Amino acid sequence: MSNRVIMAAIVVLGALAATGGLLAGGARADAPQGPVPAADLVLPAGPPFASAAEAIEARRKAYKLSGKIFKELKAAIEAGAPVKPYAADVQFLVAWSRKIPVMFPPGSDSGHDTKALPEVWTDRTHFERDAADYTEAAETLARLAEADDQAGFARQFQATGKACAACHKAFRARLN
Ligand code: HEC
């Protein structure tokens, strides 16, 4: 690559970064931050849990991290960025998805701001099927990230988002 091409690329990247900042209304905390550092990709401990509160807090924390990862993946797709750097983040989603059923032990259906609906416990088969659908979608997403297949990843991201939404519709109270 010639120096001129490199300079032009730097100028374009700079302009994109500036536009991103403006679009976010100057809220830099909302600006994309790229892949989540490996040290933060920690699965919750348990079971066993010392209390229902511990299970609720641990699952909410893991879901919040999933939400953050999802936001970063969306930003990477919209920026046309390589997706391979996000493979570990997606692997976290896969591992977390497999853990979902055990993170809803009996008795963790109320308190500590849980938004889990009673159906998690009364319609367990359906809940676990939704979790398994999510695992399958996330596994495919992880393979596409490994292959750095940007177009395939963008399509599968939509499919994975639908797996999140399907479960939320049936098993999570509407937020506020
Ligand atoms: C099998 C069901 C299921 C799937 C699949 C699922 N969720 Fe959830 N999610 C829930 C339930 C139930 C809650 C409420 C947990 C609670 O409050 O105890 C929740 C809560 C959340 C929260 C709120 C956490 C908080 O307390 O602030 C976020 C964010 C979230 N999920 C993101 C996602 C994303 C992103 C995906 C897909 C990549 C996903 N979820 C897939 C069931 C699911």
Q: Examine the pLDDT at 20 and tell me if it is beyond 60.
A: no
Query: Phi then psi for 16, rounded to 5 degrees?
Result: -60, -45
Which atom of ligand 1 lies closest to the CA of 60? 26
User: Ligand 1 pocket: which residues have CB below 6 Å?
Assistant: 56, 59-60, 63-64, 66-67, 70, 93, 100, 114-116, 120, 127, 130-131, 134, 160, 163-164, 167-168, 171-172
Q: What pLDDT does 22 receive?
A: 46
Of 128, 123, 134, residue with least CA distance to 102:
128
pLDDT in tens, 49-77: 999 999 999 999 999 999 999 999 999 99
pLDDT in tens, 34-54: 999 999 999 999 999 999 999
Centre of ligand 1 from the C-alpha of residue 10, in Å: 38
Q: Classify residue 5 by burial, with Cβ atoms within 10 Å: 0-12, 13-18, 19+.
A: exposed
Asked if 55 and 91 touch (Cβ cutoff 8 Å), the reply is no
pLDDT in tens, 161-172: 999 999 999 999
Distance between CA atoms of residues 134 and 95, nearest Å: 11
Centre of ligand 1 from the C-alpha of residue 83, in Å: 23
Residue nearest to ligand 1 atom 36, measured at CA: 164
Q: What pLDDT does 112 receive?
A: 93
Out of 7-11, 14-18, 44-48, 76-80, least confident range: 14-18
Q: Examine the pLDDT at 156 and tell me if it is beyond 60.
A: yes
Q: What pLDDT does 88 receive?
A: 98
